[in-house]
A and B are shown apart, each in its own frame.
Chain A
């Protein structure tokens, strides 16, 4: 089902079946261009499929934004080892709630994308790694997979094409870290989700020591449209090197929070004021988390920006996973930074010391600061400690904790100063008023 009204500004490519009757069924899928792309893909060589994905300028929708076609080309197709396709449905970046909708409303689009990925890298087995909290989606995907087997869209000799593919779901059990691709691989092997040293990259040595194609749910869900209508058409929807649309998860202090499919490069201010219906209760915009909690925060005057990977990088932030959190003038940035750090301290797997110790120390400092026990010298120290985590860990979790913190301390020093000398949080009163 849909949890919010669509916006007239949306460009519906991946979400075009959302809201149709029985959009999750194979019959609805087949009646609305379903499996046209797969039929085309089986007539293409693997090189041609990968070339088409490269042309589409699709970049990984999990957060890193790596060019998908390039990632696919790294898988050694001719390796004598079995090759696996793994779909990352461990959606847990705070602010992000889109993969849920893709699996709930259009599971067959995802399955078709996976089949095309399998065909492109000569893989015959795939696993969808779904976070444990999404039990109803594991059941929904299992139903879609069972329907596909019974109708000959999975299994041996799919639709008489000679192509075999088996697909399964695999449940996680509560761990943000397992959304990191190498930790996910350890997790699917039945271990604690600890990141691996790269290289070798998962494309070469991935699941069970074999070449593995690993991408996010939204990335795979974009593949059918790319193959069906051509990579060039998809690329043309966004700015150069940033093809297509993406599912933006708008949340926070806006009138119409929701998940909306917008072209990559859509202006952030327009997202807030036109798609999201503007700020709640006529309050002023204070800041925006552009793409999930790990992205450096943008101040209100930095929000006239195209939401594509390159523009955000230029603004020293990241497009991330599409989780756009909008904050109004009554948000305490110390409290916000404290909650972000509490999250990363909880989720740090403990493998790399700078991350394990850094997040814990920073959490303690921010706790103390918010309760009025901060000292002036703590303000630069918070930034300093965070900078010492950057680039010193196996995976990006340490960076993900450090980057937003550095940006909050640098961009909102006045919020930190307002908590000095034992003063109570200046925003506490307004928060209580908002709830009353």
Chain B
């Protein structure tokens, strides 16, 4: 597979930083950084990462099944993650998730028909004191209300 020069540079560094003979350690970072670029983890990507880390493809495959941020199917261009864990829950996180689901017309781990959005009800993201919280891809948004979420989604739609 061919990747951008930036990702290739990241891969090269990942193969250097772990102790000698321990390139298996690079599997998870490689998968996550690659997923950002190629959108999902395909069988081809698993083979590629296995080859570069000098492990069996199965050793990469079993890791994909474990980590909740690694996805075998493409997400939307904007992945909407709504936290409903305790601190968010008691300040309206549940209602916020329902609102997002209605506004996007999709459920948990689903993607809109145009591929622009995907939705996920997520576990604690570390924004408890500024709840309820939402992440759009890697960006944090704090004190999110249904109105604020509508606004954020409108901004994403406009940008595309």
Q: Contact at A174–B29, with CB atoms within 8 Å?
A: no
- Give the contacts of A379-401 with B (CB-CB under 8 A): none
Q: Which residues of A contact B84 (CB under 8 A)?
A: 339
Question: A145 CB to closest chain B CB, in angstroms?
Answer: 11
- A133-B69, A250-B129, A343-B123 are contacts. A336–B95 as well, Cβ < 8 Å? no
- Find the A residue at minimum CB distance from B35: A173
Summarize A's interface: helix, strand, loop or mixed: mixed
Question: B72 CB to closest chain A CB, in angstroms?
Answer: 13
Bound complex: CA A228 to CA B123 (Å):
38
Q: Contact at B123–A173, with CB atoms within 8 Å?
A: no
A92 interfacial contact with B, CB 8 Å: yes
B3 interfacial contact with A, CB 8 Å: no
Q: Contact at B25–A174, with CB atoms within 8 Å?
A: no
Bound complex: CA A100 to CA B89 (Å):
21
Bound complex: CA A131 to CA B24 (Å):
18
Question: B83 CB to closest chain A CB, in angstroms?
Answer: 9
Q: Contact at B32–A257, with CB atoms within 8 Å?
A: no
- Give the contacts of A105-125 with B (CB-CB under 8 A): 125
A171 interfacial contact with B, CB 8 Å: yes
- Give the contacts of A163-219 with B (CB-CB under 8 A): 166, 168, 170-176, 187-193, 208
Q: Contact at B127–A97, with CB atoms within 8 Å?
A: yes
- A170-B29, A173-B70, A252-B87 are contacts. A92–B126 as well, Cβ < 8 Å? yes
Q: Which residues of B contact A187 (CB under 8 A)?
A: 28
B142 interfacial contact with A, CB 8 Å: yes
Q: Contact at A133–B138, with CB atoms within 8 Å?
A: yes
Question: B152 CB to closest chain A CB, in angstroms?
Answer: 17
Q: Contact at A133–B135, with CB atoms within 8 Å?
A: yes
Question: B153 CB to closest chain A CB, in angstroms?
Answer: 19
Bound complex: CA A22 to CA B70 (Å):
34
- Give the contacts of A65-108 with B (CB-CB under 8 A): 82, 91-97, 99-100
Q: Contact at B69–A97, with CB atoms within 8 Å?
A: no
A273 interfacial contact with B, CB 8 Å: no
A323 interfacial contact with B, CB 8 Å: yes
Question: B87 CB to closest chain A CB, in angstroms?
Answer: 4
A317 interfacial contact with B, CB 8 Å: no
- Give the contacts of B78-130 with A (CB-CB under 8 A): 84-87, 89-92, 95, 123-130
Q: Contact at A3–B86, with CB atoms within 8 Å?
A: no
When each residue 256-275 of chain A gets 1 if its CB lies under 8 Å from chain B and 0 otherwise, what string results? 01110000000000000000
Bound complex: CA A91 to CA B125 (Å):
9
Q: A residues touching B (Cβ–Cβ < 8 Å)? A: 3-4, 82, 91-97, 99-100, 125, 127, 131-136, 166, 168, 170-176, 187-193, 208, 249-253, 257-259, 289, 293, 323, 325, 327, 331, 335-336, 339-340, 343, 346-347, 349, 431, 434-435
Starting from the known contacts A92-B124, A251-B87, A323-B128, 12 additional A-B residue pairs (CB-CB under 8 Å) come to: A92-B123, A93-B124, A94-B85, A97-B127, A134-B126, A136-B140, A172-B67, A208-B18, A208-B19, A249-B128, A249-B129, A258-B130
